[in-house]
Chains A and B, each alone.
Chain A
Amino acid sequence: MPELNLVQAINQALDQEMTRDSRVVCLGEDVGANGGVFRVTEGLAAKHGGHRVQNTPLDESGIMGVAIGLAMADMRPIPEIQFEGFLGPAYDQLVNHGARYRNRTRGAIPIPLTVRVPVGGGIHAPELHSDSPEAIYAHTPGLKIVMPCTPYDAKGLLLSAIRDPDPVIFFEPKRVYRSFKEEVPEGDYTIPIGEAKLVSEGDDLTLVTWGASVFQALEAMDHLPDDVSIELIDLRSIYPFDMDAVARSVEKTGRCVIVHEAPLTCGLGAELSARIQEQCFLHLEAPVQRVTGFDTVMPYYKLELSYLPDAERIGKGVRECLAY
């Protein structure tokens, strides 16, 4: 089985789905010959034509609006927004139109849209190029949000997203883009949206995270004493999130640490923590701990690594939770 990195796995999924379904159209800034800002769509225009991998000007509101218009007419548009911060200009179209049409039209006009967006820090970029805004969109009924962190999951979740009848934001952790390769089946397979992945089983504490932080969590686990048994859950789907998987694990371990790059206040960790106390109260041995970015603007690269939750901070959070 060939080994692919995250970029190659996403590229393969796009290529195969464009071949399978002529309604699939990619559009965005430089997605054509240049292959997009991170080269994720490289080669697709040459193979499928510029009319299906449509270069656009720098106009996120226009890109998102046109993509939603395409979806209204039963196409399968896949706009690429270059960085998560550039969702700002497209927010109106995405939240006020894309997320709401199914409901506003009572199901008559669904929006089968997949928005691809590189996300997160760790590549020495400034703010607007390193943010983690997933909770903003998780707070928007009508949208689904996924954030795979492995090539295998990326291909399976992207195929699910494109075939989903509702709008999906497909966040791609840019720190992971070319960081490693793994075996990815060449054939067609999907991973259901809303299903978490049990990365490693354990009995003492549940560690819940997603995106690039999964790898920070794994590193933290390497530095813990051998007799500490951690259950690591990669949420993968931000909304709907797999509360069953989280609750099942926390009921077993009694302790939970949630890790995310986004700022603490009103991050997804807050929602997960609230659900855990609602559903697992009598199983808890310690308060749910959150190890997150800070309530500040994502810093430029000199302070980037101080902002992002790293193995050391995660390890500290785990030890404090265990010692409670």
Chain B
Amino acid sequence: MTDVSAGRERLTDQLSDDVLVSWLYDMQLIREFETRTAQAYQQAKIGGFCHVYTGQEACCVGTIAAMEHDDPIVTAYRDHGHALARGMTPEACMAEMFGKITGCAKGKGGSMHMFDKPNHLYGGHGIVGAQTPLGTGLAFAARYQWEVMGEGSKKVALAYLGDGALNQGSFHEAQNLAGLLNLPVIYIVENNGYSMGTSIERGTTMADNLVLKAKGYGIKGLQIDGFDILNVYNQFKPLVDECRDLQRPGFVDLKTYRYQGHSMSDPQKYRSKDEVEEWKSKDSIAALLSHLMSERSAVTEADWKTMQKDIRDRVKKSVDFAESSPDPEMSELTTDVYANPQPNLSPTEDYRHGVRNPLL
């Protein structure tokens, strides 16, 4: 995992302090948000299942920073970070998990289904790997709309997946189609080393060189240290530019680690505390902060304290917002199943007794 740009000027060196400080802000926002998410889940304010992103922040912030705003994105169920990095407000994201009408999907989707069409986020997805053909289809549409319909510009779609999804058939069908049809989609494996409780070595072949899997489909792949956001950007941005230019697919094995369990109810018997601590010692937020403080002198201790406090207040506000927002009305049960209500189907207002008994 050497930085290919080592020895020459790195792309991030050309970025302003402000840009890098905004990355720091986004990463810390996601971390604080997930801390509050976990608390709210434990207080039973969030229903269903919940998977927090803590530890992986450099992955979504670093890769999304390399994209244009109208490049479409799909991801899996550990999706709060991607939503925030893409510009969803913490209020809409938190309220969605609380099942409130003010959520990004009016409390319909929940933790695993963050959708934000204005920010070109086409969803978190609950079925492992099943989002990858959708990202391929979004790439198909993007290329068609640019090339055939003369709309917009060249786009690249991102399809994030976890390392557990590497073994799903749909992902292999998606890669084959993208390679075959020249579709501009980059599959980003956020490789945190575990598919639920199964380590990657026990779950997939060629675990130390996943790029080989993409090579089998004629897709260019990179292995990137996803714990160093500068490295993520420096290696990922040229791949995005190339895929955009050539309208070809790409693949990234983005090495990362999650500090928390797979979900909120994971006893974590499959890994040691030492292993978790070792990764934490290389924390991506701490590394970026150190770069901004020592190498750039762009952030002071006081700045960092202020930023942390701002973020705490902002996330707290999102929790308050979610808590005080109204529940969906009963009538929301049957809205948006079809574009128009269908006659004669799905009686919902009352139990239906058929025609009134004329004898009564």
Q: Which positions in A face B, CB cutoff 8 Å? A: 22-23, 25, 51-52, 54, 56-57, 59, 61-62, 64-75, 77, 89, 92-93, 96-97, 101-110, 141-142, 144, 164-166, 194, 239-244, 275, 277-282
Contacts and interface: CB of A to CB of B under 8 A. Distances in A.
Interface stretch (B24-32, B39-47, B127-135): B127-135
Nearest to B117: A108
A141 B337 CA distance: 7
Contacts of B353: 278
Interface stretch (B174-182, B189-197, B270-278, B300-308): B174-182
B346 interface: yes
A96 B337 contact: no
B360 interface: no
Nearest to B145: A73
Given A69-B133, A141-B346, A107 B336 contact: yes
A280 B358 CA distance: 12
Tell me which of A97, A105, A141 has the highest count of chain B C-beta atoms within 10 A of its own C-beta. A105
A279 B141 CA distance: 46
Contacts of A56: 177
A147 to B, nearest CB: 17
Given A73-B142, A102-B337, A59 B173 contact: yes
Given A54-B181, A104-B115, A65 B127 contact: no
A239 B343 CA distance: 10
B170 interface: yes
B343 A194 contact: yes
A274 to B, nearest CB: 10
B236 interface: no
Nearest to B126: A96
Interface in B100-120: 105-106, 108-109, 113, 115, 117
Nearest to B346: A141
Nearest to B176: A57
Nearest to A57: B176
Contacts of B144: 25, 51, 70, 75
Given A57-B176, A166-B339, A69 B169 contact: no
A93 B126 CA distance: 12
B148 interface: yes
B99 to A, nearest CB: 13
B352 interface: yes
A110 B122 contact: no
Interface residues of B, number: 54
B330 interface: no
A62 B354 contact: no
B345 interface: yes
Given A102-B338, A102-B339, A108-B117, A65 B170 contact: yes
A243 B177 CA distance: 42
B315 interface: no
Contact of B344 (A25, A166, A244): A244
8 contacts: A59-B176, A66-B174, A97-B130, A97-B134, A102-B337, A103-B108, A105-B115, A106-B106
Contact of A279 (B134, B137, B354): B354
Given A59-B177, A92-B170, 16 more contacts: A57-B173, A66-B134, A70-B137, A72-B137, A89-B169, A97-B134, A102-B336, A103-B337, A105-B115, A106-B335, A108-B105, A108-B117, A109-B122, A244-B343, A277-B354, A280-B355
Contacts of B136: 62, 65-66, 69
B251 interface: no
